[in-house]
């Protein structure tokens, strides 16, 4: 970020923004197209019933603090669905 800022200033940019930043708009939550999700493969790690009606697909990084925070929520989901 510092490098980007220095580069911006070297090109004649000002140190203060000229207009106020606006918050991005978040689209309303909806249902995605489940047909776009790849089917389970033999080598996929699965916890619980491979043929369950509800699938929770999780991509996580063991060193990511946000993934660590989500772990408790994921565990509650698994416990709620006896999975």
Measured CA to CA, the distance from residue 67 to residue 70 in angstroms comes to 5
Has residue 2 been placed in a domain? no
> What are the structure tokens assigned to 65, written together?
């603090």
pLDDT given for residue 13 in this prediction: 62
pLDDT given for residue 43 in this prediction: 92
Identify the domain containing residue 73 by its residue range: 55-83
pLDDT given for residue 29 in this prediction: 66
Has residue 45 been placed in a domain? no
Residue-wise DSSP of 25-77: PPPPP----GGGSPPP-TTS---S-TT-S--------TT-HHHHHHHHHHHHH
Has residue 36 been placed in a domain? no
Q: Which residues of the chain have pLDDT under 50?
A: none
**Structural domains in the chain (count):** 1
Residues in CB range of 62: below 8 A, 6 or more apart:
none
Has residue 70 been placed in a domain? yes
Has residue 39 been placed in a domain? no
Has residue 64 been placed in a domain? yes
pLDDT given for residue 20 in this prediction: 62
């Amino acid at each position: 970020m510092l490098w980007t800022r220095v580069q911006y200033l070297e090109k004649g940019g000002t140190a203060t923004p000229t207009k106020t930043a606006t918050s991005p708009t978040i689209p309303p939550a909806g249902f995605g197209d489940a047909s776009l999700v790849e089917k389970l493969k033999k080598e996929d790690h699965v916890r619980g019933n491979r043929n369950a009606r509800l699938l929770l697909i999780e991509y996580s990084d063991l060193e990511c603090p946000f993934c660590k925070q989500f772990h408790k929520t994921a565990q509650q989901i698994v416990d709620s669905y006896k999975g």
